[in-house]
């Protein structure tokens, strides 16, 4: 299985795709990437994606046949179980279960993040902003001295949260959201992940341009409000 050819079916902005790409890179596993436009899904993609979503991981087997895996958590677990390279899950079953729980918590943050970035009015924006602050506050309580979620060891939890923080790299260039103002450990974690090569390589160089276009197309409130408005808004 170690020499199996892998192809990651991707979308340029999908954070779940980035999780899988980070895991593969951390493992040192070569893989191909094929991008699809989800607003105009090609027939070949619809045929192999049960949920019509990315990521997909196409695994070419020894007999030449392809097996398609879907859902980022499943893909990352497969990568961890079958590929060489550093371990991205703890060996201890209890610690491993805890990590899986925080990966799922990261997915719940992404749900609020969607509402935050697509909010079209101040009230919705504030509700989602406060939800993000509350959830990142829970993460703050779980972190130790870092630099990563589990201390010195990079894990799949880091792979799950790095794409979340990448959103805020773009948001910070637009407005001061203040989401991390009272969260020093989360802030330090974010800073530790940003320059890591696997994290940087998980997104294309035009990621910021694509996300800004997405915000414009969704008439996002955060493009309309000023830095001063956000700074003066009460939590």
Q: What is the pLDDT of residues 107-116, one digit of tens each?
A: 999 999 999 9
Indicate if 156 and 62 belong to the same structural domain. no
Indicate if 111 and 212 belong to the same structural domain. yes
Q: What is the pLDDT of residue 229?
A: 54
**Do 118 and 161 touch, CB atoms closer than 8 A?**
no
Q: What is the pLDDT of residue 64?
A: 85
Indicate if 29 and 117 belong to the same structural domain. no
Domain boundary among 23, 56, 82: 82
CATH number for 174: 1.20.1050.10
pLDDT reading at 25 higher than 90: yes
Indicate if 47 and 135 belong to the same structural domain. no
Residue 87 lies in a domain: no
Band of pLDDT at residue 191, cut at 50, 70 and 90: very high
CATH number for 14: 3.40.30.10
Domain boundary among 59, 82, 105: 82
Q: Across all residues in the chain, what is the average pLDDT?
A: 94
Indicate if 180 and 204 belong to the same structural domain. yes
Domain boundary among 42, 60, 82: 82
Indicate if 70 and 108 belong to the same structural domain. no
In percent, the amount of the chain with pLDDT more than 70 equals 94
CA distance between the termini of the chain: 51
pLDDT reading at 231 higher than 50: no
Residue 21 lies in a domain: yes
Q: In a 10 Å sphere around its CB, with 0-12 CB exposed, 13-18 middle and 19+ buried, how is residue 198 labelled?
A: buried
**Do 125 and 225 touch, CB atoms closer than 8 A?**
yes
Residue 138 lies in a domain: yes
Indicate if 108 and 144 belong to the same structural domain. yes
Q: Give yes or no: 76 in active site.
A: no
If one counts the domains in the chain, the total is 2
Residue 51 lies in a domain: yes
Indicate if 24 and 131 belong to the same structural domain. no
Indicate if 76 and 97 belong to the same structural domain. no
Residue 225 lies in a domain: yes
Mean pLDDT of 75-86: 96
Indicate if 114 and 195 belong to the same structural domain. yes
What's the domain range around 145? Answer: 93-232
pLDDT reading at 226 higher than 70: no
In percent, the amount of the chain with pLDDT more than 90 equals 90
Indicate if 13 and 129 belong to the same structural domain. no
- The set of residues, in sequence order, having a beta carbon less than 8 Å from that of 39 and lying 6+ positions away, is none
Q: What is the pLDDT of residues 28-37, one digit of tens each?
A: 999 999 999 9
Indicate if 115 and 198 belong to the same structural domain. yes
Residue 70 lies in a domain: yes
pLDDT reading at 230 higher than 80: no
Rg of the Cα trace of the chain? 18
Q: What is the pLDDT of residues 206-225, one digit of tens each?
A: 999 999 999 999 999 999 87
- Catalytic residue, from 8, 14, 20, 88: name it: 14
pTM for the full predicted model: 0.93
Q: What is the pLDDT of residues 138-169, one digit of tens each?
A: 999 999 888 999 999 999 999 999 999 999 99
C-alpha separations of 148 from 43, 59, 102, 182 in Å: 40, 30, 13, 19
């Amino acid at each position: 299985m170690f020499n199996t050819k892998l192809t990651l079916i991707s979308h340029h902005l999908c954070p779940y795709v980035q999780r899988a790409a980070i895991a593969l890179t951390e493992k040192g596993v070569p893989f191909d990437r094929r991008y699809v436009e989800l607003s105009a899904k090609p027939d070949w993609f619809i045929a192999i994606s049960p949920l019509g979503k990315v990521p997909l991981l196409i695994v070419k087997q020894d007999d030449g046949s392809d097996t398609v895996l879907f859902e980022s958590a499943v893909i990352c677990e497969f990568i961890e179980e079958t590929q060489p390279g550093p371990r991205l899950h703890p060996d201890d079953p209890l610690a491993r279960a805890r990590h899986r729980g925080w990966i799922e918590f990261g997915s719940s943050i992404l749900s609020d993040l969607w509402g935050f970035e697509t909010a079209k009015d101040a009230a919705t924006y504030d509700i989602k902003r406060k939800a993000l602050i509350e959830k990142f506050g829970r993460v703050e309580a779980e972190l130790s001295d870092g630099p990563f979620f589990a201390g010195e060891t990079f894990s799949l939890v880091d792979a799950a949260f790095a794409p979340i923080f990448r959103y805020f790299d773009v948001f910070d260039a637009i407005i001061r959201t203040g989401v991390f103002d009272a969260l020093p450990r989360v802030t330090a974690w974010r800073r530790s992940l940003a320059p890591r090569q696997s994290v940087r390589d998980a997104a294309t160089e035009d990621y910021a341009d694509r996300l800004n276009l997405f915000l414009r197309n969704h008439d996002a409130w955060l493009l309309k409000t000023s830095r001063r408005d956000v700074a003066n808004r009460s939590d």
